[in-house]
Amino acid sequence: MSDRTEILRQKMQAVGIPSFQSLSDRTGVSRRAIDTLRKGNAANLRYTDLAKVAEVLEIESMDLISLCIIEPSDSEVPLSPVLTLREEYQRLQRQLELQSQELRSQFERETIQQLESLLLQLPSAAHAAQNNLNMPAKNILPLLRPLDALLEKWGITMIGSVGAEVAYDPQRHQLMEGMDNMAEGDIAIVRYVGYMQGEKLLYRARVEKYTG
């Protein structure tokens, strides 16, 4: 079979794309390029266009290339364009991996810089507190300011504050272990704060029932 129309149509149906024009609109790839795919001439297209189509069809780029290239035994299409696309795919994969590693390293460096004073001074403060039982705990509090600044930078906010009386909300609060069930709206005491990042819940605040 030299035509790949039905193969593409099946992939499109799987992701709810009704027509080849819709596929062109969704991907931003020209209709002419889509028709080139249908003819089994993927080797004649740019890799970036193939990657866009593959992403919308929710398949791997190399799978799309394999589906939409006519084998040399079926036609006069030379093998070299296929190898070129494969090499380009592998090159881009390596590039993405390197970029991901660099971004992670950059994130780690920035985080360490943000917490520098905490990392350098907290162990000494903890040692001093262990050897001086009369040392006020409030002396350590300023060391936590870099952590507060980092959380603010990331858009992370606390749910409640320790000791606060709150209306129990099962979406934002978690009962302490061993506590009886509470009804929504009952008064609770926050024992451990929770955290939100924007609208995303990271950790629910842990609470116990207010006994008055």
Each domain of the chain, given as residue ranges in start order, spans 5-94, 115-154, 157-212
pLDDT tier at 65 (50, 70, 90 boundaries)? Answer: confident
Calculate the average pLDDT of the chain. 82
**Backbone phi, then psi, for 150, in 5-degree steps?**
-65, -45
Close Cβ partners of 4 (under 8 Å, ≥ 6 residues apart) = 37, 38, 39, 40, 67, 68
What's residue 32's pLDDT?
93
Residue 67 in 3-state DSSP?
Answer: helix
Q: Name the residue among 44, 48, 36, 56 with its Cα closest to residue 89.
A: 48
Q: Architecture of domain 5-94 in CATH?
A: Orthogonal Bundle (1.10)
What's residue 77's pLDDT?
47
pTM greater than 0.75: no
Summarised one tens digit per residue, pLDDT across range 94-126 is 888 888 888 888 888 888 888 887 777 777 777
What's residue 76's pLDDT?
47
- Our CA angle for 52, 39, 57, nearest 5°, is 30
What's residue 24's pLDDT?
93
Least confident of 10-19, 88-97, 161-170: 88-97
What's residue 150's pLDDT?
87
The yes-or-no verdict on residue 172 having pLDDT over 80 is yes
Higher pLDDT, 208 or 73: 208
The yes-or-no verdict on residue 169 having pLDDT over 90 is yes
The yes-or-no verdict on residue 90 having pLDDT over 70 is yes
